[in-house]
Structure 1
Amino acid sequence: MTTQTNTVEVKAGSFSRDFFASIVVFLVAVPLCLGIAIASGLPPTAGIITGIIGGLVVGSISGSPLTVSGPAAGLVVIVADIVAEFGLAIYGVIVLAAGLVQILAGVFKLGVWFRAISPAVIHGMLGGIGILIIGSQFHIMLDRDPLSSGIANLIDIPNGLLETFESHGGNIYAAITGIITIVAIVLWTRFAPAKLKLIPGALIGVVLAVIVANLFNFDIKYLTDLFDGPTDLQNILGTIITPTMSTIEASMTTGVLLAVVSLAFIASAESLLSCAAVDQMHQGVRTKYDRELMAQGVGNAICGFLSALPMTGVIVRSSANVEAGATSRVSTILHGLWLLLFISVFLFTLEYIPVATLAGVLVYTGYKLAYPKVAKELLSYGKAELAIYIITIVTIVSFNLLAGVVTGLVLSIAKLLYVFSHVSIKAEHQPDSKQTTLHLKGSATQLGIPKLVSVLDHLEPGREIHVLFDDLEYIDHACIQLLDGWQKQYQMTGGKVIIEWDSLIGKYHARETAIAEGN
């Protein structure tokens, strides 16, 4: 009886923690769902619909119980480009097809491969996206229309500010609303009492801006201004565009296929990296990556069918979920239920929410993505990693997201090939003796044999040669055979060769032991 009572108490305690966590995640999700939808060129409620699907559907079947799925700032740029290029009807087909690609990737156990993407590329992608979000949302925060490219948006920021404060081409009250939002988020994040930290700064910023804008009757754009008609639930559901045979046939182009693959790849990478980060934040069930990939695919297929925003596992909402004490997927599912309640009952609140305040939330989000705090960490792994990070960002901002990611991937592969094939050989000659020490560094493969032969052939006959492997990461069979044969030939000239084979064998044994213990 005591055991049963304790079990009931544990379950009750777990549910109460999940219930509270779901409220926190819901409060984090609302402003982000609305803002990301607007930034992507879709109706604000498209983001709420995606949040509902991410909670109720993906939350129920995900491979990472504490990861929360929904609209992601990291997809804003690619979604906005797809909508602008192909239109809403074909956009829905692209998201649906990307979801099917994710499902197939999960079926074929490809989930773990997305984790093999270089961190420099991932951080560069997020940094580039952050800069583009700042560029576009800064203009929306001034009630201006963003320009056609990321570079143009960034260059035009000073002009936008000038026009705003000169009272033409911008709206000073919209700017004030956005600034209030950002300042409130920053101050709350830094100075909020510890007991209140779980209340999201974005919510504080939006609520404060809503109060000020409505109290003083600011003449600015509100969310209802983004709809052609009434914002009741019946009319909003009537705007949903489902795929038809004609739109599917029109989607059979190379451009659409490229968009599908790009969206599936980026959404999958962001989701699984978020799951990996969440795993480090708690001691519970670990992520099943292939299952998570399939769950994300199911969610995106449904979102595509409804022409809603695509989704990923989102680290902001997921970290809020863990920090709020969530213990199971119940919190994720409940947050989807609260979003459904919001769109069903509290939709009237959209007429009080300024567009500028949500743009302010996204400007702050873009800043967090773009802030180069990771640069120092990447530099500790070598200048090449930092270069890949910077080049990825510059390419994304200068051209587009796909070009930047592909460039980063190509550079990371090129770096891997270089590291794997590059060997450095340093010869130290003792001036007072006939002893020479050879230091091998890097990876000695058959590609490095010409360099190795060049050094060995130029050694003076009759010396005592010590070959050290302390800094060698890898050596293949071809190089081992070369050194073994050269040792015999050199000793026939009267010289002496001491090769530290035992240290090399010991290093590989130590590495194999470490790998086995890690598994």
Structure 2
Amino acid sequence: MTSHFSSLRSALRTDVTSSLVVFLVALPLCVGVAIAAGVPAELGLITGIVGGLVTGLLPGSSLQVSGPAAGLTVLVFTAVKDYGLAALGVLVLLTGLLQLALGALRLGRWFRAISLSVVHGMLAGIGLVLIAGQLYALGDREAPGSGTSNIAGLPGHVADVAASRPALTAIGVGIGTIVVMTLWKKVHGRAQLLPGPLLAVGTATAVTAVFDLPVKRVEVTGLVEAVQPPGLGEFIRLVDVGVVATIVTFTLVASAESLFSAAAVDRLHEGPKTDYDKELMAQGAGNAVCGLLGAVPMTSVIVRSAANVQAGARTRLSRVLHGVWLLLFAAILPDALGMIPTAALAGVLIHAGFKLLPLKELGPLWREHRGEAVILVITAGAILFTNMFEGVLVGLVLAVTKAAWEVSHVHIDVADSGEGRVRVRIQGNATFLRLPRILDTLENLPVDRSVELNLAGLRHLDHACMTALQNWADQRNARTVPSDRAPAT
């Protein structure tokens, strides 16, 4: 009994400590993601609070932490720009309900079937768009909007910033934030308990306040005032195809990011593994609540989850308490947000964007699996130059096409059996993708020979190939086979 009580007390102590670490990691990211998405900073905190107090209590993954993620920043920014802040609640609410339905139908595990190259391409595309947009925020400027316009406007942005002393000051603050985060990762020991993003943003805030630097700060509206439940009039937008596509995109990206994060977190600890369907429903419940509050959507976030595991968390209590600390901070110290320079948060997100780029993995992938590397690059580029939904769709089509091409391998053996007869044996999987090669081989056979076509070695023959082979045999028999020779069979 004493040993059991001691074990519970030890678990409670480590969970409380872990929750504080996760809170310190989550605070600047919640605020930064909201600002980058073009919504009030408090909405990011609300999503973090819901991620702890709602999703954190539900079954699925015991140690994974949820909140606003950099991966959804671009999507939210575009949605708010296209449909307005008032519509955000409806979009997130329907996303949550759709996730609940997918989880109830036990479809969560199917998100694990997505090609890894498409996932990495999706994250890389998000990272590129995020970086391109935050380069403007780094100089206290508004980004033009889409990925292509952000990239096209960079030369003009550089010229504008170079002629503005306040903008150069803001860039100095942002770059300083990135430098502090980068160098802090090289520090070892217990100092790592202090998260790099918090240290970097705290340092930038202190320097800005001490020297009264002329840079933009976070605008504070108040936690209660930031809550914007969706009105009935906003649900009328659901007849818009673009709104429906946005909801589907939110659902797919948020679900995929959450479940891939769960797979990564499971590899970090020895405790109970994730139930993917229950985790998807937990994410759906959290997003439904966020939608009712008009907040930004949530996903499971690998940075916070890894910090939770590394800090020694044992149960879901740590992720619930991190939501409590976020709530207390937002309620007691709301004015502290108004002291944070937006350039520092831009620096945090640029750093996060670079971490989404698979720079180390791309070289080995190109050498060993060149087709996968091509899919990754094309997916990222498609997201950058179109949008998230179309970019991921392009990647999925390429991945499926590549898989179909590799699976539909056929071996064609042509042999002269004498007596004016040619034997052709086709083995493997004959699909329409290999039809040109099959027909080229058959049509190049000598017209003065009879042909024996052996298909016994085929594991699969699709309708297109079966029809083409029958047509070829009929035409050859009708055209060139002498009467004393056997027809093509």
Task: State yes or no: 1:176 paired with 2:172.
Answer: yes
Q: Counterpart in 2 of 1:106?
A: 103
- 1:197-346 equivalent positions in 2, closer than 5 A: 197-223=192-218, 226-227=219-220, 231=221, 233=222, 236-346=223-333
Q: Counterpart in 1 of 2:114?
A: 117
Q: Counterpart in 2 of 1:496?
A: none
Q: Counterpart in 1 of 2:189?
A: 194
Q: Counterpart in 1 of 2:83?
A: 86
Q: Give the SS at the match of 2:239.
A: coil
Q: Distance in 1 between matches of 2:435 and 2:152?
A: 51
> Which digits, 9 at most, give the CA deviation of each residue in 1:287-342, with x for residues without a partner?
00000000100000110111101000111111111111111111100101110111
Shift of 1:368: 1.2
Shift of 1:268: 0.4
Counterpart of 2:334 (choices 347, 360, 368) is 347
Q: Distance in 2 between matches of 1:338 and 1:127?
A: 32
Q: Distance in 1 between matches of 2:13 and 2:425?
A: 62
Q: Distance in 1 between matches of 2:350 and 2:414?
A: 55
Cα 1:13–1:427 change in 2 (3 A) is: farther
Cα 1:249–1:424 change in 2 (3 A) is: same
Q: Distance in 2 between matches of 1:87 and 1:478?
A: 52
Counterpart of 2:408 (choices 414, 421, 425) is 421
Shift of 1:427: 9.0
Q: Distance in 2 between matches of 1:221 and 1:451?
A: 63
Task: State yes or no: 1:127 paired with 2:98.
Answer: no
Contact 1:62–1:296 (CA<8 Å) still a contact in 2? no
Contact 1:127–1:372 (CA<8 Å) still a contact in 2? no
TM-score (norm 2): 0.85
Task: State yes or no: 1:444 paired with 2:429.
Answer: yes
Q: Distance in 2 between matches of 1:413 and 1:222?
A: 47
Residues paired across the two proteins, number: 444
Cα 1:424–1:24 change in 2 (3 A) is: farther
Shift of 1:154: 2.4
Q: Distance in 2 between matches of 1:309 and 1:208?
A: 27
Counterpart of 1:63 (choices 46, 53, 60) is 60
Q: Give the SS at the match of 1:67.
A: coil
Task: State yes or no: 1:157 paired with 2:178.
Answer: no
Q: Distance in 2 between matches of 1:446 and 1:23?
A: 57
Counterpart of 1:36 (choices 33, 39, 44) is 33
> Which digits, 9 at most, give the CA deviation of each residue in 1:41-76, with x for residues without a partner?
110010000000001110110401111000010001
Contact 1:446–1:476 (CA<8 Å) still a contact in 2? no
Contact 1:100–1:301 (CA<8 Å) still a contact in 2? yes
Structure 1: 4+ residue segments shifted above 4 A: 424-428, 438-441, 445-455
Shift of 1:78: 0.9
Q: Distance in 2 between matches of 1:361 and 1:416?
A: 38
Q: Give the SS at the match of 1:171.
A: helix
Task: State yes or no: 1:476 paired with 2:471.
Answer: no
Q: Counterpart in 1 of 2:133?
A: 136
Which amino acid counterpart does residue 184 of structure 2 have in structure 1?
W
Contact 2:133–2:145 (CA<8 Å) still a contact in 1? no
Q: Counterpart in 2 of 1:148?
A: 145
Contact 1:142–1:164 (CA<8 Å) still a contact in 2? yes
Which amino acid counterpart does residue 372 of structure 1 have in structure 2?
L
TM-score (norm 1): 0.80
Which amino acid counterpart does residue 407 of structure 1 have in structure 2?
V
Cα RMSD, aligned residues only = 2.6
Cα 1:422–1:204 change in 2 (3 A) is: same
Q: Distance in 2 between matches of 1:478 and 1:398?
A: 39
Counterpart of 1:45 (choices 42, 46, 54) is 42
Cα 1:419–1:15 change in 2 (3 A) is: same
Which amino acid counterpart does residue 196 of structure 2 have in structure 1?
G
Contact 1:139–1:146 (CA<8 Å) still a contact in 2? yes
Q: Distance in 2 between matches of 1:384 and 1:477?
A: 24
Contact 1:115–1:272 (CA<8 Å) still a contact in 2? yes
Shift of 1:450: 8.6
Q: Give the SS at the match of 2:359.
A: coil
The share of aligned pairs that are identical, in percent, is 42
Shift of 1:449: 8.5
Shift of 1:377: 4.4
Cα 1:478–1:392 change in 2 (3 A) is: closer
Which amino acid counterpart does residue 55 of structure 1 have in structure 2?
G
Q: Give the SS at the match of 1:370.
A: coil
Cα 1:478–1:118 change in 2 (3 A) is: closer
Q: Distance in 1 between matches of 2:460 and 2:192?
A: 58
Q: Distance in 1 between matches of 2:197 and 2:365?
A: 29
Contact 1:90–1:251 (CA<8 Å) still a contact in 2? no
Shift of 1:276: 0.5
Q: Give the SS at the match of 1:444.
A: strand
Cα 1:98–1:377 change in 2 (3 A) is: farther
Which amino acid counterpart does residue 95 of structure 2 have in structure 1?
A
Cα 1:403–1:51 change in 2 (3 A) is: same
> Which digits, 9 at most, give the CA deviation of each residue in 1:256-304, with x for residues without a partner?
1111111111110100000011111111101000000001000001101
5+ residue gaps in structure 1? Answer: 429-437, 460-473, 483-519
Task: State yes or no: 1:402 paired with 2:399.
Answer: no
Q: Counterpart in 1 of 2:454?
A: none
Q: Give the SS at the match of 1:105.
A: helix
